[in-house]
């Protein structure tokens, strides 16, 4: 029983750590400039992920002090079960995060998870920090409303599952199955070179005005256009 409770507690602990790192490190230049730069590259190119093995090694090294603290304060069983649950929570996060960007949803929960996370990418970079669960966002006041997701055309090609493949060669269009949940905005060449857009990115990502990583980051959805969905036949 101790191992089961400890393991489940470790998974819950990971969801809190995920939220805290995402909000307080990956979007804060002062606390994690190197990590933030890599993360905002992912915002700029949603299909881009850092190598799994490197992240696994870093996660394993971070679990060592957690195991030592749990062992000393709670005993060896807790010292093994809590870090194991935390590690498996991280594995679940990596798998789900990759699927959100690379695979179409299989059900209602999957559709919600994609809307929730992609809303963080394209509309509310200062909210929806949790990927595995919205609980911490709701608790700490960073949960964005569940609304239609505006996807910039310049980022849409990184979400192949979202697009109508019949129009892949010509104009980008949202697949008919997702037209009620997503819409394309802007132009394919809308870039982050505009000083106005860069200022918005800095504000949304909580970056200082002289940040050197802004030009590779998020493209805020500021100007809407009619939904780009395949015409019904």
For the chain, state the CA radius of gyration: 19
Structural contact between residues 174 and 182, judged by C-beta atoms closer than 8 angstroms: yes
**Which H or E element spans position 121?**
helix 108-122
- Whole-angstrom distance, CA of residue 110 vs CA of residue 210: 38
Show pLDDT as tens, one digit a residue, over the chain (233 residues). 888 999 999 999 999 999 998 888 887 765 556 666 677 778 878 877 877 777 778 777 888 888 888 888 888 888 889 999 999 999 899 999 999 999 999 999 999 999 999 999 999 988 999 998 999 999 999 999 989 999 998 888 889 899 987 655 557 889 999 999 999 988 765 544 444 444 444 444 444 444 433 333 444 444 444 445 655 44
Q: Measure CA 13 to chain center.
A: 18
pTM assigned to the model = 0.77
Which of 128, 199, 159 has its CA nearest to residue 45?
159
Which of 128, 129, 121 has its CA nearest to residue 145?
128
- Whole-angstrom distance, CA of residue 196 vs CA of residue 129: 25
Q: Is 166 helix (H, G, I), strand (E, B) or coil?
A: helix
Strands (E), 97-186: 149-152, 182-185
User: CB neighbours (10 Å) of residue 176?
Assistant: 13
Q: How many CA atoms within 13 Å lie on the side-chain side of 30?
A: 4
First to last CA, the chain: 58
Which of 219, 93, 226 has its CA nearest to residue 156?
219
State pLDDT tens for residues 161-195.
999 876 555 578 899 999 999 999 887 655 444 44
């Amino acid at each position: 029983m101790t191992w089961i409770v400890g393991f489940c507690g470790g998974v819950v602990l990971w969801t809190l750590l995920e939220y805290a790192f995402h909000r307080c490190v990956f979007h804060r230049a002062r606390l994690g400039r190197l990590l933030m730069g890599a993360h905002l590259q992912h915002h700029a190119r949603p299909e881009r992920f850092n190598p799994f093995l490197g992240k696994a090694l870093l996660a394993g090294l971070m679990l060592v002090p957690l195991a030592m603290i749990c062992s000393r304060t709670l005993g060896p069983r807790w010292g093994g079960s809590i870090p194991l649950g935390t590690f498996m929570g991280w594995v679940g996060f990596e798998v789900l995060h990759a699927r959100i960007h690379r695979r179409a949803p299989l059900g209602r929960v999957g559709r919600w998870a994609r809307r929730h996370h992609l809303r963080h990418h394209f509309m509310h970079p200062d909210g929806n920090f949790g990927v595995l669960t919205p609980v911490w966002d709701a608790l700490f006041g960073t949960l964005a409303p569940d609304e239609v997701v505006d996807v910039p055309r310049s980022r849409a090609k990184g979400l192949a599952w979202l697009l109508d493949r019949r129009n892949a060669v010509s104009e980008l269009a949202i697949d008919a199955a997702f037209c009620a949940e997503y819409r394309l905005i802007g132009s394919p060449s809308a870039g982050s070179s505009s000083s106005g857009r860069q200022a918005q990115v800095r504000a949304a990502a909580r970056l200082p005005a002289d940040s050197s990583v802004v030009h590779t980051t998020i493209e805020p959805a500021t100007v809407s256009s009619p939904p780009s969905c395949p015409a019904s036949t």
